[in-house]
């Protein structure tokens, strides 16, 4: 869970995360406003979390493992559609050509190098970094090696973070473990090994939540 005291409202089918500010039972039951839906990883014993949308939410587009060496109409569509309302974009590595990141400009882009990136990327981007958003520390890294214990190894690369954004496995992940939100947007361009083509969006208010988004229309 993220920072703050957890609430007592936990019931089957819903996951209540902790917030920095304490909310009353009336707040938790107020679903009259437009709601956002959070789909979590299978290892969390629930499916959906619903909470009233916040006007002050900061949205961050998250993408990884694009493996592109030239402009792609798909990336343009992701920027224009799925990332239309985001304030910044995170790329978690395996970019291949830095020029493909230009599609997200003029939004601020934070990126790291991946294990499949060439020297032209590795010599420019760090292997990992920490970005602070609304007081929350978000670790950004790609990953390496076997996907089985990937999150355990990556967590050791950071101290005192609230969210860990990573890639490498091409498999989306969106769950909380030991107080940290682990978020992998998957890959929007892998039509062979990924379970589906995906990107993600993080929303930061007095908590961090994530949404995995299915992307249609990728043709290699």
52 Cα distance to chain centroid = 20
d(CA 203, CA 64): 17
Summarize pLDDT for 117-129 with one digit per residue, the tens: 999 999 999 999 9
Evaluate if residue 11 carries a pLDDT over 70: no
Long-range contacts of 128-134 (CB under 8 A, 24+ apart): 128/157, 128/158, 130/158, 130/161, 131/90, 133/58, 133/60, 133/204, 134/58, 134/204, 134/205
First-to-last alpha carbon distance for the chain, in angstroms, is 38
Whether 116 has a pLDDT exceeding 90, the answer reads: yes
pLDDT tops 60 at residue 158: yes
Q: Residues 18-46: pLDDT tens digits? A: 333 333 444 434 433 333 333 333 333 33
Percent of the chain topping pLDDT 70 = 73
CA distance 106 to 86: 11
- pLDDT of 64-87, one tens digit each? 999 999 888 999 999 999 999 999
How far is Cα 52 from Cα 148, in angstroms, rounded to an integer? 35
Q: Order of strands across the sheet with 163-165?
A: 128-133, 136-141, 163-165, 180-184, 173-177
Q: What angle do CA 206, 177, 143 make, to 5 degrees?
A: 100
pLDDT above 50 (res 12): no
pLDDT at 192: 74
Going by pLDDT thresholds of 50, 70 and 90, the confidence category of residue 148 is: confident
What span, in angstroms and rounded, lies between the C-alpha atoms of 146 and 81? Answer: 33
Share of the chain above pLDDT 90, in %: 65
| HEC string for 102-153 | HHHCCCEEEECCCCCCCHHHHCCCCCEEEEEECCEEEEEECCCCCCCCHHHH
State how far the Cα of 57 lies from the Cα of 113, in Å rounded to an integer: 28
> What's the pTM?
0.75
CATH superfamily ID and name for 58-214? Metallo-dependent phosphatases (3.60.21.10)
Q: What is the mean pLDDT of residues 142-169?
A: 94
């Amino acid at each position: 869970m993220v920072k703050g005291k957890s609430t007592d409202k936990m019931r089957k089918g819903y996951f209540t995360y902790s917030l920095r500010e304490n909310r009353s039972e009336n707040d938790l039951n107020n679903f009259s406003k437009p709601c956002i839906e959070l789909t979590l990883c299978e290892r969390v014993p629930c499916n959906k979390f619903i909470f009233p949308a916040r006007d002050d939410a900061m949205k961050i587009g998250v993408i990884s493992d694009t493996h592109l060496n030239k402009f792609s109409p798909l990336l343009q569509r992701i920027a224009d559609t799925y990332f239309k309302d985001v304030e910044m974009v995170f790329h978690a590595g395996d970019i291949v050509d830095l020029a493909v990141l230009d599609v997200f400009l003029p939004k601020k882009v934070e990126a790291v190098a991946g294990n499949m990136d060439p020297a032209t990327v590795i010599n420019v981007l760090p292997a990992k970094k920490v970005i602070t958003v609304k007081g929350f520390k978000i670790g950004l890294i790609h990953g390496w090696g076997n996907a089985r214990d990937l999150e355990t190894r990556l967590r050791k690369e950071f101290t005192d973070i609230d969210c860990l954004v990573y890639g490498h496995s091409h498999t989306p992940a969106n769950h909380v473990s030991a107080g940290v939100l682990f978020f992998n947007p998957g890959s929007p361009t892998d039509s062979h090994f990924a379970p589906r083509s995906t990107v993600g969006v993080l929303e930061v208010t007095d908590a961090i939540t994530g949404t995995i988004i299915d992307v249609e229309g990728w043709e290699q």
